[in-house]
């Protein structure tokens, strides 16, 4: 197993919440996207709508790993193929290239990511051809993507980070993953979209940060039986998340992707209610994540 690079006393791994939203078009929350910054290198998880703009905003806040022209993104991990986690893919591929990325993206995701990548590049072939052969003379390698279809286990390692993928339970979405990131000074687990599953318990032990989706139990009672069943099969309730946290005891629990499927705009899903439900049963440190939070 490759050793991770030692750190200086002042360096520390950072977690940047680029997008904490859901399929609902909330202007305050971009689609799901999280970055792990280790030894000055950014590793991206998911690419929901708005991901590149949020990376640019994070750079303006002092997160230099993204690069002044957001061309510092190189290694990417995808939890699953739902649109709210992938709709920023063309932007991630093309804008970072247009802004100066000279190397292919390395993308690790579930079965289907190769086909998605191929179709995105095909859909924008006129743009790509013009930028390659027109006056811009774009870098030929910069628009390319090496897509890797993953299975559970260690899927990536370099001198900064070690990444383990594990299956999660997201209804009929058979290929859905969570990730465990280990650096020299922190272990971070990202659930992806999931109902409770034993693999999370196995991979969350001794983690410093657990970033997990959740929905409010109070709103669950306000939606139809159909959507209640959907929630149970696809997502995690506040009570279930509190039970998980009590078992694995993360250093910090971060709630993101605050789901409200079936509620529409008529059923509010306030984060203070969700946090109160979790804190009723879990006494550890917990917060609700917002776009551009740095942990």
Q: Is 9 a member of any domain?
A: no
The whole-angstrom separation of Cα 145 and Cα 51 is 17
Q: Is 238 a member of any domain?
A: yes
Q: Is 183 a member of any domain?
A: yes
> Does residue 253 carry a pLDDT above 80?
yes
The whole-angstrom separation of Cα 146 and Cα 212 is 28
The per-residue pLDDT for 266 is: 45
> Does residue 54 carry a pLDDT above 70?
yes
Q: Which of 49-53, 132-136, 276-280 has the least mean pLDDT?
A: 132-136
Q: Is 283 a member of any domain?
A: yes
> Does residue 197 carry a pLDDT above 90?
yes
| Mean pLDDT of the region 133-157 | 94
The per-residue pLDDT for 277 is: 96
The CA angle 80-85-88, to the nearest 5 degrees, is 130
Output the 3-class SS for the chain. CCCCCCCCCCCCCEEEEEECCCCCCCCCCCCCEEEEEECCEEEEECCCCCHHHHHHHHHHCCCHHHCCCCCCCCEEECCCCCHHHHCCHHHHHHHHHHCCCCCCEEEEECCCHHHHHHHHHHHCHHHHHHHHHCCCCCCCCCCCEEEEECCCEEEEECCCCEEEEEECEECCECCCEEEEEECCCCEEEECCCCECCHHHHHHHCCCCEEEEEEECHHHHCCCCHHHHHHHHHHCCEHHHHHHHHHHHCCCEEEEEEECCCCCCCCCCCCHHHHHHHHHHHCCCCEEECCCCCEC
Domain count of the chain?
1
Any idea what the CATH number is for the domain that residue 264 is in? 3.60.15.10
Residue span of the structural domain in which 100 resides: 14-288
> Does residue 1 carry a pLDDT above 60?
no
The pLDDT-based confidence of 221 (bands split at 50, 70, 90) is confident
Q: Is 4 a member of any domain?
A: no
The whole-angstrom separation of Cα 232 and Cα 29 is 24
Long-range contacts of 10-15, Cβ-Cβ distance < 8 Å, separation of 24 or more:
11/39, 11/185, 12/185, 12/186, 13/37, 13/38, 13/183, 13/184, 13/185, 13/186, 13/188, 14/63, 14/294, 14/295, 15/188, 15/209, 15/211, 15/254, 15/294, 15/295
The per-residue pLDDT for 76 is: 98
| Mean pLDDT of the region 180-194 | 97
Q: What is the pLDDT of the chain when averaged over all its residues?
A: 92
| Mean pLDDT of the region 170-174 | 93
| Mean pLDDT of the region 201-222 | 92
Q: Is 6 a member of any domain?
A: no
> Does residue 265 carry a pLDDT above 50?
no
The per-residue pLDDT for 219 is: 85
Instruction: Give pLDDT tens digits for 89-141.
Output: 999 999 999 999 999 999 999 999 999 999 999 999 999 999 999 998 888 88
The whole-angstrom separation of Cα 21 and Cα 4 is 32
| Mean pLDDT of the region 14-22 | 96
Q: Which residues, 6+ apart, have CB-to-CB distance to 231 below 8 Å?
A: 215, 220, 223, 237, 259, 261, 262
Name the more confident of 210 and 219.
210
Q: How far does CA 257 lie from the centroid of its chain? A: 10
- The structure tokens 């991990």 sit at 77
> Does residue 64 carry a pLDDT above 80?
yes
Q: Is 2 a member of any domain?
A: no
Q: Is 237 a member of any domain?
A: yes
Taking CA atoms, 282 is separated from 56, 83, 287, in Å, by 35, 32, 12
> Does residue 262 carry a pLDDT above 50?
yes
The per-residue pLDDT for 182 is: 97
The pLDDT-based confidence of 59 (bands split at 50, 70, 90) is very high
């Amino acid at each position: 197993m490759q050793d991770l690079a030692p750190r200086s006393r002042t360096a520390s791994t950072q977690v940047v919440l680029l997008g904490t939203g859901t399929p609902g078009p909330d202007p305050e929350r971009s689609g799901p996207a999280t970055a792990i910054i280790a030894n000055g290198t950014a590793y991206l998880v998911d690419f929901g709508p708005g991901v590149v703009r949020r990376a640019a905003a994070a750079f303006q806040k002092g997160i230099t790993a993204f690069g002044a022209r957001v061309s510092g993104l190189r290694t990417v991990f995808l939890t699953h193929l739902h649109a709210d986690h992938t709709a920023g893919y063309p932007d991630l591929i093309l804008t970072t290239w247009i802004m100066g990325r000279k190397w292919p993206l390395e993308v690790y995701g579930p079965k289907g990511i190769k086909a998605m990548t191929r179709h995105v590049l095909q859909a924008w072939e006129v743009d790509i051809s013009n930028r390659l052969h027109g006056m811009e003379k774009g870098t030929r390698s910069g628009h390319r993507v090496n897509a890797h279809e993953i299975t559970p286990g260690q899927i990536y390692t370099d001198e900064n980070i070690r990444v383990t993928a594990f299956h999660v339970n997201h209804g009929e979405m058979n290929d859905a993953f969570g990730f465990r990131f280990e650096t020299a000074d922190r272990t971070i687990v990202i659930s992806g979209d999931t109902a409770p599953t034993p693999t999370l318990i196995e991979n969350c032990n001794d983690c410093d940060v657990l970033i997990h989706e959740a929905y409010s139990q109070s709103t669950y009672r306000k939606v139809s039986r159909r959507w209640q069943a959907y929630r149970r099969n696809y997502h995690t309730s506040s009570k279930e998340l509190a039970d998980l946290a009590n078992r694995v005891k993360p250093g910090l629990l971060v709630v993101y992707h605050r789901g409200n499927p079936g509620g529409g705009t008529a059923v509010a899903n306030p984060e203070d209610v969700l946090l109160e439900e979790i804190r009723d049963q879990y006494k550890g440190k917990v917060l609700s994540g917002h776009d551009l939070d740095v942990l």
